[in-house]
Every structure is written in structure tokens, then in C-alpha cells.
Structure 1
């Protein structure tokens, strides 16, 4: 027998394809995350101007406070580290299916795109930055829709919730809520000179409209799904906007309003769902008691008839 004989592998077998996909993700996902983190660190602490410097020197109607956004990105990185660990130690078939078919290569590509955006932002290539953020947003929208529709999050698999659904959703909220519109406004020339704060009210209503629409959308998601991840991410973004202190007054007010409205929506919908379920249980119990009483009366009637016959 030849020592160079090939091992037969049936790549048409779905199980084999899934295994190879998982192995590929186990290699590419940590690598892409490492490149994303390294690029962010270099662009923040080595290059000049840094990510924060460019943000501070180009205010617009929606301008986040750089330290708050940095903390948000750090939280996304932590979630992805947990995801990478889950990639290696996942044993449940449902978890593996969620990783392979729900997230897949979208997160890998998103990390690469995020790294490219950091470089474009530091070099003030705002058109490239906007295009990359648009691609990033579309990638993450696709991944989140697939996760929600085909891999429904459940508390029966808490690790899936914490390290698959939560990081991917948090990752989406950042460009969708603030980074993409901010970069777009700068690209369109709708920013203002930080040396002239009296110009801050220019083009303020487009920022107000975007912030209003995206946060109403967020409130609907929180209300319909009791989505604590969206509540956390959207509230964090709103806080980062009003902490900046340089945004126009309408932007400042709407950011504060939704900072309060997001948690209120979550709390109210959770209690409403709880009371609705309790009421439904009470109705079912009442109907069950009535049916039992009716059956008892019926049986009692038969027994009386039997005694008189």
C-alpha cells in the first residue's frame, strides 16, 4: 500500500461541509478580530492625528463623544472574544448551526471592513470611510436578520445569547446609529469648524431627523422583542451624543429624551408581557376549574339517576 494514498473525504456530505466551515471560522474569525483590534490601537495611539483627533476636529450635527464610542467598541471586542472562545468549545448542534449558518463569514468581513474604516478615518478619506461604513452596516444587518429569523435567540442557550447574538447586534447598532450618518454628513460637507461654534446649527435638522427615526426604530424593536441588547446599545449611543456637549440643541434634547425612553420602554413592555401572561394563566385556570365543576355536576347527576332506577 502506498504511504502517499489520499484519505477519502466526501465533501458533498453536509456534515463534512459544516465541519470544514467551522474550522475555517475558527481560524479566520480570531485573525480578523486581532487585525481589527491592532488597527484600532495603532490608529488611536500611534498615528497622528488619531481617531479621536479627527473626530474632535470635524464636528457635525451628530458628533459622538470619542471616549464613549471607544468604550462601546471595547465592549464589542470583548463580546467577540467570547464568540471566538465559543467557536472552539461549542458542542451543541444548535450552537454550531448558529455560528456556521447564522454568523458565518459576515463577521470576519465586518472586522476587516472596520479596520479599513479606521485607516480611512485617520487619513480623513471621508468618502472611503462612508462607503466602508455603509458596507459594514449592510453586512451586519444581513447577519442580524439571519440570526433573528432562522436562529431565534433563546434563554435555553444563554451562551449563544451572550456571545453570538449580543456582540453581533451591538456591532450593528454602532454604525447604524451614529458612525455612518456622522461620516456621511462630513462627506457631504455638512460639518462645521470647531473654532466657530456659532455655526453648529447649520444642517442640524437632518441630524435631528436621522436621530429621531433611528431611535423610534430602536424603541419599536425594544417594545416588540424586549431586546435588552438594543436597549443597551441605543442608550449608550444616545449618551455618547449628549455627552459631547457640542451638538446643536435639538440633537442634545432628542438624545436625552431617548436616553430616558429606551429603558422605560424595556421596563414597561417586560411588565406588560408579565401581567398579560399571568392574566392568561388565570383565565386558563378558571376555565379548567369551570370544566371540572361541570364534569362533577354531570357525574353527580348520573349517580342520582342510577340510585332511582
Structure 2
């Protein structure tokens, strides 16, 4: 037994004095930091690098052609078939320019920016789990919509808009589920990813879908005879109900998310609808339908109030939790209660010492 111990000690000593040369049996490995930056889902990122720019450019090209080169253009159809929810062309055009500018920025972000700049794990998860193929399908669908709109095929355009809206609703839910980027912590992701999706979803819900629905129902002023459809007064009250439903949905989303971006976009779109009047009347919807104009103003006020109420409610809840520390055994250490308890004990000791 002693011989075995001695031999093992000698072997251990020889290994320490002459360590084996491991490098001679294998080649040197060069460290690649990209494997740490993108450890998984490389195929999903590559797929989105191809399809997001392609879908964005296709939608942009289709809208530009139908807005500038086709007769009648999209703007002319907007003015020709006037409804009580038709927006002002100039204001809605600025809104769409902002959306497409952010979408082009998103395409540059996913294609041309270096890995170390943007492809952190958090941003990668936003692209893969937040946007995904659903956003690509929504963009390709939006490339077909202006074709049907400019050809005055309003039923098909309404169906396409409804499908796009459902896809974007799923995308928005995925973004909210995977913690949407904030302007303070991730400004580029907020401006180039979250902003265009949010604005796109907002304009479909507030303007495009309701207007296209009214055109499908033929609730518009006739471009041939320059008069409204029959039962226009009854239809105006139904449109008030549409405005209220859409406004309450937007207000609920604003209250739950407390996003100033959606609040500003909602008020801006309501102003675009409110200021557009028949034959470009300066009074806008106030002249055409006072009840619809009143509903638009009321929904805008409720949207702003929902943001303010949700913001102060969040601040109150966070203030109520201030000073709490979660202990390992599941208990909660209240810093304010402990300080008040210490003050009470100090006052009691002071009274005892004075006595």
C-alpha cells in the first residue's frame, strides 16, 4: 500500500514539473464575440433581415405609385367619396410620411448596423419575438391595399385592412409582452421599432378602418349628384356610435399602457378628421354633422384624461410600495414603519430618562 502511495506521489510530482503540452494536440481557437452577442435564433434574424426591408420597400413603392401616378389617386378618392369620418388629406399625409420614415430606419437598423451596435440580446428578442413574420405579412398586405383603394374596390380594401389590423394587434401584444423599449433606456429601438408599429396600428383603428367601412356601406356623399345617401341623419347617429366605440378602445389602451406617443397620435388623428369638411368647409365636421363633431371632441378629451389618470394612478401605486424590502422568508420589511417605530422607541427612552 505504501508503494502505491509513493508511486502516485511521484506521478503527481512529475506532472507538476512537466505539464503536458495540450496545444500540440489541437489548433488554437480564435474568439469570436458574435457568438456571445447572438447565441441563438440566428436563422430567424437572417430571415427578418431579408423580409422586413423587402416588405417595407414594397409597401412604400405601392403607396407612392397609387398616390402620385395612378388616376384617380388615393388622395382624390379620399376627397371624391366624402364621409363623416374622412380625414384632412394634408394632415394624414404627414402622419404616413412619419410612419414610412421610421420603417425605413428600421430596415437600415436590421441590415446595415454592425452587430456590436444594435444586436444585443434584448433588441434581438424584440425583432424575433416582438415583430416576427406577422409584421412582414402586415406590410405585404398593406402593399395590396392602395391598389384596391385607388380602383374604388372598397369592400376588398376593408377586408385587407381588417386582416392587417388583426396582424398588427398581435404584433403589439407581442411587443407589450416582451417589454417594449423605452425612449430613455433604448432610444433607437423605441424610435425605429416601436414607434412605426404603434402609429401604424393607431391609424388603422382610428381612421382607415372606420372610413373604409363607411365607404363599403355607401354612406358617403355621391360624387355624381353631389348629395348624401338616403337616411343620412340616421346614419350619422350610427357613426357617432362608431366614434364612441373606437374612442373608448383607444382610451382603454392609453389607460393600460400610459403611453404619451399613442395619446398624441390619437388626438392628432381626431383633429385630422374634425377639421375636414364637405367642400373644404372651414367649420369642418361641425357644419356637416354637429353630433359627430361633438363625439370626436369628447373622445379626444377622454383619451387625454385616460393618460393623465393612468399616469397618476401608476405614480400612486409606486409611492405606496416605496420603502418595502422583500425578505428571504417571504416577509416584507417596511422601511417607513421601521423608522416610525424607531422614533417611538426614542421618544419613550427620552421620557424614561427625564423621569
TM range (shorter): 0.7 to 0.9
CA drift of 1:280 comes to: 4.9
Note if 1:192 corresponds to 2:221.
Answer: yes
Q: Deviations over 1:236-292 (max 9, x none)?
A: 221111011234222212212233443343234334433554465389553231243
Unaligned runs of at least 5 residues, structure 1:
1-14, 305-309
Distance in 2 (CA, whole Å) between partners of 1:255 and 1:52 is 22
User: 1:91–1:222: structure 2 CA closer, same or farther, 3 Å change rule?
Assistant: same
> 2:263 maps to which residue?
231
More helix by share: 1
Alignment of 1:94-109 (within 5 A): 94-109=122-137
Deviates more, 1:208-217 or 1:288-297: 288-297
Structure 2 residue aligned with 1:252, among 270, 273, 293?
A: 293
Question: Which residue does 1:6 correspond to in 2?
Answer: none
User: Do residues 171 (structure 1) and 200 (structure 2) align?
Assistant: yes
Deviations 1:6-54 (A, max 9, x none): xxxxxxxxx7872121112112111211121111111111111110111
Of the candidates 132, 137, 151, which is equivalent to residue 123 of structure 1? 151
Match of 2:303, SS state, is: helix
Q: Whose relative contact order is higher, 1 or 2, with alpha carbons under 8 Å and at least 6 apart?
A: 1
Q: C-alpha separation between the residues in 2 aligned to 1:287 and 1:16?
A: 46
2:243 counterpart of 1:211: yes
Partner of 2:337: 287
Q: How many residues are matched?
A: 288
Alpha-carbon distance between aligned partners in 1 of 2:315 and 2:40, rounded to the nearest angstrom? 43
Tell me the distance in 1 between the aligned counterparts of 2:337 and 2:102: 46
User: Is the counterpart of residue 29 in structure 1 residue 52 in structure 2?
Assistant: yes
2 CA distance for matches of 1:41 and 1:126? 19
Q: Extract unaligned runs of 5+ from structure 2.
A: 1-37, 279-284, 325-333
Give the counterpart of 2:310 among 246, 249, 269.
269
Q: Are the equivalent residues in 1 in contact too, given 2:220–2:229 (CA < 8 A)?
A: no
Report if the CA contact (8 A) 2:218-2:229 is conserved: no
**Larger Rg belongs to:** 2
TM-score, normalised by the number of residues in structure 2:
0.73
Q: Could you say what the CA RMSD is over the residues aligned between the two structures, in angstroms?
A: 2.8
With the length of structure 1 as denominator, give the TM-score of the two structures.
0.83
Distance 1:58 1:139, change over 3 A: same
Contact 2:138 2:168 in 1 (8 A): yes
